[in-house]
Amino acid sequence: MLMVIPGSDISRHASLMDRVFRFRHSIFVDEKGWTELRQPDGLERDRFDDVHAIHQICLRGDDIVGYQRLLPTTRPHLLSDVLTDLCHRRPPRGPRVFEWTRFCVAPGSREMRPRPEGPFLELAQGVVEWGMAHRVDTVTVAIDWRLMVIAMQLRFFVRPLGFPKRIGRDEVVALRMSFNRETLATLRQARGCDEPVLPNLPLPTAA
C-alpha cells in the first residue's frame, strides 16, 4: 500500500509522520552516514518538510517499508539550496519539474534486482502516477549512482547533472529524469500488475 500525505496534512497524521521521520533518520543517518542530518531526537526533518512537500509512504500492514518525498522546484529545494555542488549545470526548474528526495527502502525489503511485489517498484510507480496526474513529467534527484542503471531499465529518460560525489557512505549523483506512458507501462510490466498504486488519482487519457 502506498499512502500519500501532502505537507499541509502532516498534523492529521502526526503519529505516522513521527515514525516516518524516525525511519528516515535510521536510513540516512545511522545506515548511510549522512551525519549532517543527525538530530538528537532521532527525527530526520529539514526545512523542506513544509506544506508544499508531498510524502509517499509504502506500508506493509503497519510497517513502513519505503518512503519518498516530492518537492516543487518552483521553490527552494535540495539541489537548488543545499546540494548545489552536485550540479555542474543548473538543474531544471518549473511547474512540470519536481524534486524526488529521501527515497529509501527498509533493509529487510531490499533486493539486488527489484522484485514485482517489492516497495522499490511501487515507489517508482507512485512518482510516475502522481506526476502524470499533476502534469509533472520530470524529476530531479540525488541518488546512489548505481540506481541510475535501474532507472534507465525502467524507461526513465536519464541525464546526469554532474559527477558522483561521496556523501556519507554513498556515491551520490544528481540526475534529471523524465517519464511518460512508456515508463508507466514498463513499471506495470515489471510489477506484473496493471492496477495503479495510487488508485484515487486520475491519469490523463491518451492523446
pLDDT > 70? residue 119: yes
Q: How many degrees, rounded to 5, is the angle at CA 55 between CA 206 and CA 102?
A: 105
Cα(162)–Cα(139) distance, integer angstroms: 15
Cα(80)–Cα(76) distance, integer angstroms: 6
Q: Is residue 207, in this structure, part of any structural domain at all?
A: no
pLDDT digits (tens, 9 = 90+) for 28-86: 999 999 999 999 999 999 999 999 999 999 999 999 999 999 999 999 999 999 999 99
Element (H, E) at 203: none
Domain of residue 162, residue span: 2-191
Q: Is residue 203, in this structure, part of any structural domain at all?
A: no
Instruction: Kindly report the average pLDDT of the chain as a whole number.
Output: 94
Phi first, then psi: what are they for 3, rounded to 5°?
-110, 135
Q: Is residue 62, in this structure, part of any structural domain at all?
A: yes
Q: According to the model, what pLDDT value does residue 89 have?
A: 81
pTM: 0.94
pLDDT > 50? residue 19: yes
Q: Is residue 9, in this structure, part of any structural domain at all?
A: yes
Q: Is residue 201, in this structure, part of any structural domain at all?
A: no
Q: Is residue 198, in this structure, part of any structural domain at all?
A: no
C-alpha cell at 195: 492496477
Closest by Cα among 124, 121, 131 to 54: 131
Q: According to the model, what pLDDT value does residue 114 have?
A: 86
Closest by Cα among 50, 45, 92, 44 to 71: 50
CATH number for position 39? 3.40.630.30
Q: Is residue 68, in this structure, part of any structural domain at all?
A: yes
Q: Is residue 202, in this structure, part of any structural domain at all?
A: no
Residue 204 confidence class, pLDDT cut points 50, 70, 90: low
How many domains, the chain? Answer: 1
Mapped onto helix, strand or coil, the DSSP state of residue 69 is strand
